[in-house]
Amino acid sequence: MIDSANGQIVIPDEEKRLERQLCFAVYSAAHAFNRAYKPILDRVGLTYPQYLVMLVLWEKGSLPVKVIGEKLDLDSGTLSPLLKRLEQAGLIDRARDTRDERQVIVSLTEEGAGMNCQVETIMGAIGQATGCNLSEIGDLRDRLRQLKANLAAE
């Protein structure tokens, strides 16, 4: 891809097409994931972003809103309405931290904690939808994490 005459990067015209762009492949795969998750998550009454919040809480327990936002790479403007809907559904509680009133701690309710048993069913259905085995999913996940790290380092 490097022109030896002038040291410039030369990209063949075929590689400039939309369907050859890595960014479009990632973008369209993300949309396909959301479409695949929707009917599965509808059965348990969660949206995809709500499911991500619940995954964090099922794994970590109670957390400050700020930490949840950092883990999910969501700003407070996106996260706050999500948390409000989860609270209205009776799945989480939000309370001011007694040690630091500036922080809001999010914790699972009994009902929210009880939904943890759904994870295996959800993951199994998505795994089947991908057509990948567990090893292939792990490899793909690791490559995407590395891609994100590379892009973040720029």
Q: Which sequence spans correspond to the domains of the chain?
A: 48-120
User: What's the pLDDT score for residue 9?
Assistant: 84
Quote the distance between the C-alpha of residue 56 and its chain's center.
10
Kindly report the length of the chain: 154
Q: Any idea which fold 48-120 has?
A: Arc Repressor Mutant, subunit A (1.10.10)
Structure tokens at 149: 């790290």
Would you place residue 97 in the very low, low, confident or very high pLDDT band (cuts 50, 70, 90)?
confident
**Per-residue pLDDT reduced to its tens digit, 36-50:** 999 999 999 999 999
User: What's the pLDDT score for residue 12?
Assistant: 87
User: What's the pLDDT score for residue 3?
Assistant: 57
pTM score of the predicted model:
0.85
**Per-residue pLDDT reduced to its tens digit, 103-126:** 999 999 999 999 999 999 999 999
- Lateral strand order in the sheet of 63-64: 63-64, 104-108, 92-96
Q: Are 105 and 95 in contact (CB under 8 A)?
A: yes
Angle at CA of residue 51, ends 50 and 53, nearest 5°: 65
